[in-house]
Amino acid sequence: MVTQSEKVVNSKRSLIFVALLLLVLLFFFIDIVIGNAEVPVGDLIRSIISPSEYSTASMIFYNFRLPKALAAVITGVALGISGLLTQTYFRNPLAGPDVLGISSGASLGVAFVLLVISQFLPSLGSSPVGNWTIIVAACVGAAATMLMITLVSGIIRDHVTMLVFGLMVGAAFSSAIIVIQYLSNETLLKSFVVWGFGSIRHLGLNHLAIMSPFIALGTLLSFFSVKNLNALLIGEKYAQTMGINLARARVLIFISIILLAGTITAFCGPIAFVAITVPHLSRMLLRTNDHFVLIVASLLTGSLMMLLSDILSHLPGSNISLPINALTSLMGIPLIIAIILRKKI
Partner 1 sequence: MIGLEGELEVQDLQIGYNIRNKEFRAGPISFTLAEGELAMLIGPNGVGKSTLLKTLIRLNEPIEGQVFFQGRPLRQIPKAEMSKYIAFVSTETSYPFYISVYELVSLGRIPYLNWMGRLSSEDRRIVERAIEQMQLEHLRNKPIQEVSDGERQKALIARALAQDTPVILLDEPTAFLDIVNKHNIIHLLGDIAHQQKKTVLLTTHDLNIAISETDKLLVMLPNQFLVGAPEDLQLKNQLNSLFKNQFHFDPISGTLKRVKSFLYKASLKSESTVPRSVAKLTQKALERIGYELTDNSTRINVIVKKVNQDYQWTVELADGNTFICSSLYALCRLLGEYKR
- Interacting residues with partner 1 (CB under 8 A): 2-3, 6, 87-88, 91-93, 159, 223-224, 226-227, 230-231, 233-235, 237-245, 283, 288-292, 344-345
Task: Name the amino acid, one letter, at 8.
Answer: V
Closer residue to partner 1 in complex, CB, 1/320: 1
How far apart CA 261 and CA 107 sit, in angstroms, is 10
Tell me how far, at minimum, the Cβ of 23 lies from partner 1, in Å: 25
Is the dihedral angle over the CA atoms 5, 7, 10, 14 positive or is it negative?
A: negative
Report angle CA 338, 343, 345 to the nearest 5 degrees: 100
Residue with smaller CB distance to partner 1, 24 or 95: 95
**Residue among 87 and 325 whose Cβ is closer to partner 1:** 87
- Helix, strand, coil distribution of the chain in percent, nearest 5: 80, 0, 20
Q: Which is nearer to partner 1, 73 or 94 (CB)?
A: 94
Nearer to partner 1, 252 or 331 (CB): 252
Partners of 321 in beta bridges: 314
> How far apart are CB 142 and partner 1 at their closest, in Å?
23
* CA separation for the pair 213, 219 (Å, rounded): 10
Least distance in angstroms from the C-beta of 69 to partner 1: 31
In the complex, the smallest distance separating the C-beta of residue 267 from partner 1, rounded to whole angstroms, is: 30
DSSP 184: S
Give the Cβ contact number of residue 53 at 10 Å.
Answer: 11
Which residues, other chains included, contact 10 with Cβ-Cβ below 8 Å and sequence gap of 6+? none
